């Protein structure tokens, strides 16, 4: 019998997902909400921030898959059915994120913003390069994406520390865990990379006091969710010079509002939430495998714990 997967995303085109998923699952039709008709047996949902009330329209759902890694947009919704929710777990997605983090860290490690500024004023500005092992990078969050980025930074020779909720052991990474370890961790991070999920515990976790704990002139890279950082405190620290620079892919409100202070700051690089995206050709395999598991009564992999928030 043919089943239907409903695909809902305002940012990802349905075409490549339909091609990839229907090739792997010939008895599943991929439909957008507008394409669904009375004959459709909607069993699966692949979603990125679906509109309020979306799930209530599909009472036959057996599996919800998030079209990404972060579950924050689904936490606390009152229309979610009591079925497993899985996230994408895709090495290609981790690779894309690692590329962004590596680019941003290398840019600070090699003083590129200073050379960009010097070039704009026609100045020959020599800064003697530091060795990677002298540069202390801190990665907040050592999950699928955070762990992969931290390992690559260590492979590139940086002195890398990581922080997570529960203790971790990653080769070449100085691992720390729990709230008490946060301040000392921040105090040693010349370049801080934020890779935490947005949960009730991490919302505005990085406020004025935490930013003040970073060494003067530190650089901050946020690729997770804007609301993990207190944006007003971030702007103030960038304006005062306590923070030397920031690379921001995510914001409290997206798109970043016209006229927002961050747009005009010389020491800030803004990118429009694309550090990593869901890649149909590789992620479809994981989604198809999970659908087969659910069909045969097995638990899906890469489940999100909605009570925990990630
Ligand atoms: P995971 O869920 O795999 O890992 C989360 C990590 O954060 C874990 O190490 C976890 O600790 C840690 N953590 C969670 N809560 C706390 C806490 N209260 N205190 C300390 N540590 C905590 O996430 P990923 O690495 O896959 O992804 C991270 C985030 O990146 C996603 O949630 C998403 O928001 C964002 N993202 C952004 C993208 C972009 O384009 N900008 C693209 C994709 C994802 P523990 O290991 O102990 O559980």
234 lines ligand 1 (CB under 6 A): no
Q: Please tell me the total count of domains within the chain.
A: 2
Classify residue 160: in a domain, yes or no: yes
Query: Hunting for tokens 């890398």 — which residue is that?
Result: 160
State the Cα–Cα distance between residues 158 and 163, nearest whole angstrom: 16
Helices 144-155 and 91-109 pack at an angle, to 10 degrees, of 50
Claim to verify: residue 96 and residue 32 sit in the same structural domain: no
Q: Residue 263's pLDDT is what?
A: 98
Contacts for 130 with CB less than 8 Å, ≥ 6 apart: 109
**How much is the pLDDT for 170?**
98
Same domain, 55 and 100: no
- Same domain for 101 and 229? yes
- What's the whole-number average pLDDT of the chain? 97
Out of 29, 31, 87, 225, the active site residue is 225
pLDDT at 194: 99
Question: Domain containing 52 — which CATH number?
Answer: 3.40.50.720
Q: What is the pLDDT of residues 6-26, one digit of tens each?
A: 999 999 999 999 999 999 999
> Rounded to an integer, what distance in angstroms lies between the CA atom of residue 89 and that of residue 91?
7
Co-location of 265 and 286 in the same domain: no
Residues 286 and 261 in one domain: no
Per 3-state DSSP, what percentage of the chain is helix, strand, and coil (rounded to 5)? 35, 20, 45
Give the integer Cα–Cα distance in Å for 288 and 33.
Answer: 20
Q: What is the pLDDT of residues 36-60, one digit of tens each?
A: 999 999 999 999 999 999 999 999 9
Q: Comparing C-alpha atoms, which of 275, 277, 291, 271 is closest to residue 16? A: 277
CB of 142 sitting under 6 A from ligand 1: yes
Q: Is residue 310 part of a domain?
A: no
| 266-278 pLDDT tens trace | 999 999 999 999 9
300: in domain: no
At which residue do the structure tokens 């080769």 appear? 171
Ligand 1, residue 249: give the atom nearest the CA: 41
Asked if residue 308 is part of any domain, the answer here is no
Residue 133 annotated among the catalytic residues of the structure? no
Residue 37 CA, ligand 1 centroid: distance in Å: 37
**Strands 243-248 and 268-270: what pairing?**
parallel
Pocket test for ligand 1, best of 197, 200, 226 (most atoms within 8 A of CB): 197
Distance 180 CA to ligand 1 centre (A): 19
Q: Which two tokens stand for residue 310?
A: 């990630």
Question: What is the token pair recorded at 85?
Answer: 């929710």
Q: Is the CB of 201 under 6 A from ligand 1?
A: yes
**163 and 226 part of one domain:** yes
Report yes or no on 307 lying in a domain: no
Rounded Cα distance between 239 and 21, Å, is 48
Q: Is 110 known to be catalytic?
A: no
Q: Do residues 77 and 97 share a domain?
A: no
Same domain? For 118 and 217 the reply is yes
Mean pLDDT of 183-196: 98
With respect to residue 11, please indicate whether it lies within any of the assigned structural domains: yes
Query: What residue numbers bound the domain in which 119 lies?
Result: 92-270
Average pLDDT, integer, range 235-255: 98
Please name the residue whose Cα sits nearest to atom 43 of ligand 1: 69
φ, ψ dihedrals at 177, nearest 5°: -145, 150
Instruction: For residues 180 and 264, state if they share a domain.
Output: yes
Q: Report the pLDDT value the prediction gives residue 1, as an integer from 0 to 100.
A: 80
Tens-place pLDDT, residues 107-158: 999 999 999 999 999 999 999 999 999 999 999 999 999 999 999 999 999 9
DSSP one-letter code for 293: H
Q: Is a pLDDT exceeding 90 seen at residue 162?
A: yes
Measured CA to CA in angstroms, residue 270 lies from 19, 95, 225 at distances of: 33, 21, 14
CA 233, CA 226: separation in Å to the nearest integer? 12
Same domain, 284 and 256: no
The H-assigned helical ranges of 165-226 are: 182-187, 208-213
**pLDDT for residue 41:** 96
ipTM of model over 0.95 = yes
Residues 113 and 154 in one domain: yes
Sheet containing strand 159-164, strands side by side? 174-177, 159-164, 136-140, 191-194, 218-222, 243-248, 268-270
pLDDT at 167: 98
pTM: 0.97
Q: Is 269 helix (H, G, I), strand (E, B) or coil?
A: strand
Structural domain includes residue 260: yes
What is the three-class DSSP state of 2?
coil
On whether both 37 and 108 belong to a single domain, the answer is no
Q: Does residue 187 contact residue 214 with C-beta atoms inside 8 Å?
A: yes
Residue 62 lies in a domain: yes
What spacing in Å lies between the alpha carbon of 17 and ligand 1's midpoint? 25
Task: Tell me the pLDDT tens digit for each residue of 75-97.
Answer: 989 999 999 999 999 999 999 99
Predicted local distance difference test score (pLDDT) of residue 115: 98
Tell me the mean pLDDT in the region 165-175.
98
- Cα 218 to ligand 1 centroid, rounded to whole Å: 22
């Amino acid at each position: 019998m043919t089943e239907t997967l409903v695909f809902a995303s305002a940012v990802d085109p349905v075409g490549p997902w339909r091609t990839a998923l229907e090739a792997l699952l010939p008895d599943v039709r991929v439909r957008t909400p507008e394409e669904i008709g009375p004959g459709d047996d909607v069993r699966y949902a692949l979603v990125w921030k679906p509109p309020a009330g979306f799930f209530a329209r599909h009472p036959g759902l057996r599996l919800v898959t998030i079209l990404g890694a972060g579950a924050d947009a689904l936490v606390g919704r009152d229309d979610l059915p009591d079925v497993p929710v899985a996230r994408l777990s895709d090495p290609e997605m981790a690779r894309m994120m690692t590329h962004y983090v590596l680019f941003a860290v290398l840019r600070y490690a090699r003083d590129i913003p200073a050379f960009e500024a010097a070039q704009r004023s026609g100045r020959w500005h020599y800064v003697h390069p530091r060795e990677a092992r002298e540069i202390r990078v801190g990665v907040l969050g050592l999950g699928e994406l955070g762990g992969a980025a931290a390992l690559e930074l260590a492979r590139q020779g940086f002195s890398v520390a990581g922080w997570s909720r529960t203790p971790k052991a990653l080769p070449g990474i100085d691992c720390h865990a729990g709230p008490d370890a946060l301040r000392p961790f921040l105090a040693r991070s010349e370049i801080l990379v934020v890779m935490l999920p947005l949960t009730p515990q991490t919302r505005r976790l990085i406020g004025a006091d935490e930013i003040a704990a970073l060494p003067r002139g530190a650089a901050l890279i946020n690729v997770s969710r804007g609301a993990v950082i207190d944006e007003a405190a971030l702007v103030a620290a960038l304006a005062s010079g306590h923070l030397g620079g920031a690379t921001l892919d995510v914001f409290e409100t997206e798109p970043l509002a016209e006229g927002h202070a961050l747009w005009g700051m010389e020491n800030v690089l803004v990118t429009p939430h694309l550090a990593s995206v869901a890649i149909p050709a590789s992620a479809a395999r994981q989604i198809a495998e999970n659908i087969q598991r659910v069909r045969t009564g097995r638990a899906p992999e890469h489940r999100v714990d909605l009570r925990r928030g990630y």
